[in-house]
């Protein structure tokens, strides 16, 4: 049995944005946001449920998962496989856009509901050691979350290093699933008794996919590799160009400094020659100092050499 890589855009949305298996997304959200008791999400409405995209449309960047609960809170889940820079700014843009879209022009601001952004990153962007970090808007003095309509959670997969035997929470299991599902040939025993994970593995199993889904999946995988290689190539070329430019600038600066030093040395020698001729003509040290700018002690030394 071959499982798809959940980090692939198509696979991620097929698994977590499936209208017939919303319990998968609900379980994931509750575990990531640590929702319990009265905060537990029991139902969601998918704003953009999974649909098989046409390959020409893949040029467009769309949100992976967007859903709302019964209270009207919005949940955005974005899977980002490669670091193209400024992801934190993109997360702010997505979140604020979803917040504004809740309210029609001239509407009542009291109707605005909270927006949760969850970014799953296949790279690192923050200094924290833990693989999950929560970012809130807090009062600097009181540390209270007075502005609580925005909340950001980032999962950095590169910092998740737990083994299968070490998975102790549902969140651990979801992150391990996202990072390693395509390495399995069978559903691990650690997942067999949990219904949401059985469904997730079922949706990830490519033997249940149609030909078009497999085609788009492969296209996205190759496209991702091409973009990563292009990014690496651009970085390498920029580095090489920087080194080359640095060498050229160094040579140019060295030549310039050499010329300047040569000129300075030539000017100094010219002053000495004038001083020597002035001594032969019988001029006193004070006059020669005024003419050349050389100090009297040096001129006296030249005078001694002539004797």
Give the tens place of pLDDT for each residue, 252-274: 776 667 666 666 667 777 778 78
How many distinct helices (H) and strands (E) make up the chain? 8, 6
Q: What is the 3-state secondary structure (H, E, C) of 205-235?
A: EHHHCCHHHHHHHHHHHHHHHHHHHHHHHHH
Task: Characterize the bridge pairing of strands 65-69 and 74-80.
Answer: antiparallel
The confidence band for 96, taking pLDDT boundaries of 50, 70 and 90, is: very high
Residue 7: predicted pLDDT:
93
> What residues does 69 pair with on adjacent strands?
44
Same domain, yes or no, for 202 and 63? yes
C-alpha to C-alpha distance for 4 and 206, rounded to whole angstroms: 6
Average pLDDT of the chain is 85
User: Among residues 192, 209, 226, which one ends one of the domains?
Assistant: 209
Contact indicator for 117, 153 with CB cutoff of 8 Å = yes
- Give 177 or 110, the one with higher predicted confidence: 177
Same domain, yes or no, for 242 and 178? no
Locus of tokens 């698994």: 15
Same domain, yes or no, for 50 and 169? yes
Contact indicator for 7, 178 with CB cutoff of 8 Å = yes
Could you list the beta-strand ranges (E) of the chain. 44-46, 65-69, 74-80, 115-121, 132-136, 150-156
Residue 60: predicted pLDDT:
46
Locus of tokens 């496209």: 223
- pTM greater than 0.85 (yes/no): no
C-alpha to C-alpha distance for 204 and 88, rounded to whole angstroms: 29
Same domain, yes or no, for 15 and 151? yes
Domain count, the chain: 2
Same domain, yes or no, for 263 and 172? no
Which tens digits make up the pLDDT trace of 7-35? 998 899 999 999 999 999 999 999 999 99
Same domain, yes or no, for 242 and 196? no
Region of residue 90 (left: phi > 0; alpha: psi -120 to 50; beta: else): alpha
Q: Dig out the tokens for 277 from the structure.
A: 């001729």
Q: Is residue 216 part of a domain?
A: no
Q: Is residue 227 part of a domain?
A: no
Which tens digits make up the pLDDT trace of 220-231? 888 766 556 665
**Cα end-to-end distance, the chain, whole Å:** 103
Q: Is residue 20 part of a domain?
A: yes
Which tens digits make up the pLDDT trace of 287-301? 878 778 788 788 788
Same domain, yes or no, for 78 and 124? yes
Locus of tokens 């030909």: 211
Same domain, yes or no, for 146 and 249? no
Q: Is residue 61 part of a domain?
A: yes
Residue 20: predicted pLDDT:
93
Same domain, yes or no, for 197 and 53? yes
Which tens digits make up the pLDDT trace of 112-171? 999 999 999 999 999 999 999 999 999 999 999 999 999 999 999 999 999 999 999 999
Q: Is residue 225 part of a domain?
A: no
Contact indicator for 9, 220 with CB cutoff of 8 Å = yes
Q: Dig out the tokens for 91 from the structure.
A: 């997360």
**CA distances (Å), origin 28, targets 41, 77, 253:** 10, 10, 59
Mean pLDDT to the nearest integer, 57-71: 71
Residue 15: predicted pLDDT:
95
Q: Is residue 233 part of a domain?
A: no
C-alpha to C-alpha distance for 5 and 10, rounded to whole angstroms: 9
Same domain, yes or no, for 20 and 76? yes
**Residue 90, exposed/middle/buried by CB under 10 A (0-12, 13-18, 19+)?**
middle
Residue 108: predicted pLDDT:
81
User: Among residues 193, 209, 225, which one ends one of the domains?
Assistant: 209
Same domain, yes or no, for 33 and 135? yes
Q: How many residues does the chain have?
A: 307
Which tens digits make up the pLDDT trace of 163-206? 999 999 999 999 999 999 999 999 999 999 999 999 999 999 99
Same domain, yes or no, for 31 and 144? yes
- Give 144 or 303, the one with higher predicted confidence: 144
Residue 199: predicted pLDDT:
96
Q: pLDDT at residue 111 above 80?
A: yes
Q: Is residue 222 part of a domain?
A: no
Residue 225: predicted pLDDT:
62
Q: Is residue 258 part of a domain?
A: yes
Residue 209: predicted pLDDT:
92
C-alpha to C-alpha distance for 230 and 225, rounded to whole angstroms: 8
Residue 229: predicted pLDDT:
62
Residue 296: predicted pLDDT:
78
Mean pLDDT to the nearest integer, 69-86: 88
23: containing domain:
9-209
Q: pLDDT at residue 59 above 50?
A: no
- Give 50 or 75, the one with higher predicted confidence: 75
- Residue 169 DSSP class: S
Task: Characterize the bridge pairing of strands 44-46 and 65-69.
Answer: antiparallel
């Amino acid at each position: 049995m071959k499982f798809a890589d959940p980090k692939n855009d198509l696979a991620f949305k097929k698994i977590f944005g499936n209208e017939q298996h919303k319990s998968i997304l609900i379980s994931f959200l509750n575990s990531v946001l640590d929702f319990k008791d009265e905060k537990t999400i029991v139902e969601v409405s998918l704003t953009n449920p999974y649909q098989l995209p046409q390959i020409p449309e893949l040029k467009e960047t769309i949100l992976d998962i967007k859903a709302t609960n019964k209270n009207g809170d919005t949940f955005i889940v974005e899977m980002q496989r490669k670091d193209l820079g400024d992801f934190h700014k993109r997360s702010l843009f997505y979140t604020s856009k979803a917040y504004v879209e809740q309210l029609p022009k001239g509407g009542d601001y009291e109707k605005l509901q909270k927006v949760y952004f969850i970014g799953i990153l296949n790279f690192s962007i923050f200094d924290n050691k833990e693989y999950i970090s929560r970012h809130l808007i807090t009062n600097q003095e009181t540390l209270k979350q007075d502005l609580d309509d925005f909340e950001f959670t980032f999962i950095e997969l590169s910092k998740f290093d737990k083994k299968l035997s070490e998975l102790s929470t549902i969140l651990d299991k979801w992150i391990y699933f996202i990072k390693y599902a395509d390495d399995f040939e069978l559903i691990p025993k650690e997942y067999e008794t949990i219904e949401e994970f059985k469904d997730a593995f079922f949706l990830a199993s490519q033997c249940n996919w149609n030909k078009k889904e497999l085609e788009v999946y492969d296209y996205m995988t190759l496209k991702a590799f091409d973009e990563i290689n292009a990014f690496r190539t651009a970085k390498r070329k920029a580095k090489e160009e920087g080194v080359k430019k640095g060498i050229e600038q160094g040579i140019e600066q060295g030549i310039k400094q050499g010329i300047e030093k040569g000129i300075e040395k030539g000017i100094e020698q010219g002053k000495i020659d004038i001083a020597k001729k002035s001594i032969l003509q019988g001029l006193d040290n004070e006059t020669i100092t005024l003419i050349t700018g050389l100090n009297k002690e040096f001129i006296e030394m030249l005078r001694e050499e002539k004797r």
